[in-house]
Each structure stands twice: as structure tokens, then as C-alpha cells.
Amino acid sequence: MIGLTEPAPRPTGHDPALRRLAAHAARLAAGLAAGIAEGLSRRAVNGRVLRKLSVMTERELKDIGLVRQDVADAGASGEDASLFLLARRDERRAARRREDFVKR
């Protein structure tokens, strides 16, 4: 029996439950850090893409299936700019194909 003068036993680090808890906490922390780094990296990539597209001419944008408003909308959307722009391009291509099909 532990008396008033005896200190309580300290965990030795050999407790399997504590080890599992520590390992789980470490995995969560690593995942959180990786997610933050990925988000910051993705934001930087999107910023570079938008800056490069914003200086392109109307003709250059048209060559890749975009218009100036697409670039402005991608910047204002708050979404992943690359995915947003690809979706816009694909929508425009699909509409053009439908028009071509109807004309035949």
C-alpha cells in the first residue's frame, strides 16, 4: 500500500497503451504538418499559375482554351485555381462539341 510519504509510482514508458497513444499522437502530428505544408505549397503553385496566365495575351489564352475572365474567376473563387481552370476549359470544349454535333 502506498503511504502518505511514499511517492506514487511513475510510468516507466513500457506501458503498451501509452506507447500506442504516443505513436498515434505522433502520426496525427505528422499528418497535420504534412497537410499544412501541402496546402501552403498548393497555394504557392496556384499563385504562380495565376500570375503567369494574367500576363498572357488573349490569343495565348485562347490557344489553351481559356479567356481572361476565366483567370479572374479562378483567382476570386478560392478553389484550387488549376482544377478550376481545367474545368472551365473542359466545359467550353464540351459546349463546342455539342454545337458542332447539332450543326451536322
pLDDT at 17 (0 to 100): 79
Q: Higher model confidence: residue 13 or residue 72?
A: 72
pLDDT at 8 (0 to 100): 61
Q: Higher model confidence: residue 89 or residue 42?
A: 89
pTM score above 0.85 = no
7 pLDDT above the threshold of 80:
no
C-beta of residue 102 within 8 angstroms of C-beta of residue 85: no
Q: Where are the domains of the chain?
A: 23-103
